[in-house]
Amino acid sequence: MEDRVYNVLFLCTGNSARSIIAEAILDRVGAGRFKAYSAGSRPKGEVNPYTVAVLEKSGFKADGYRSKSWSEFAEPGAPPLDFVFTVCDAAAKEECPYWPGQPMTAHWGLPDPAAVEGTEIEKHLAFADAFRMLNNRISIFASLPMKGLDKLSLQRRLEEIGKAKPVDAP
């Protein structure tokens, strides 16, 4: 693959937690190499407050992110996509729209932190776990030598990343 800025879309059903966290992480760790986006098949319409909290606690600016439909990225004038990653099992099983740019795809599923029921601490921990797992996977992805990999090798690496576990899990 060539050396340029790559457009990356992260998908989950509600686009309020995992995909927003992934977008924020890639915005930071992939700055200059990647342009991150996120969307959902059935967007909640707002970013989960625990998502905002985990991003801010991790030193990210959480403003500017919004919950939106994946149809925005299938419309004329949408950015051509190079990579599309599903971060929830439900979105991975849905029929996706046609993405401009013929992107490479992979499933990087992880548990939905927004589905956790329990104490405030348990909810914050679920979002922190999701953040760590996504940060680990996205850091690996952002460090790949895109210029030196053929498409088949890159696809295999993308699938392997989806199986990666967080390195600093408690």
Among candidate residues 88, 106, 138, 161, the one labeled active-site is 88
User: Which SS3 state, helix, strand or coil, does residue 53 take?
Assistant: helix
Among candidate residues 8, 11, 12, 81, the one labeled active-site is 12
For 134, list phi and psi in degrees, rounded to 5: -65, -40
Among candidate residues 53, 96, 104, 125, the one labeled active-site is 96
Question: Is 75 one of the annotated active-site residues of the chain?
Answer: no
Question: Which 3-state string (H, E, C) describes 38-60?
Answer: EEECCCCCCCCHHHHHHHHHCCC
Question: Is 96 one of the annotated active-site residues of the chain?
Answer: yes
Question: Is 88 one of the annotated active-site residues of the chain?
Answer: yes
C-alpha 124, offset from chain centre: 19
- In a 13 Å sphere around the CA of 150, the CA atoms on its Cβ side amount to 2
Amino acid at 50: Y
Q: Which residues are catalytic?
A: 12, 88, 96
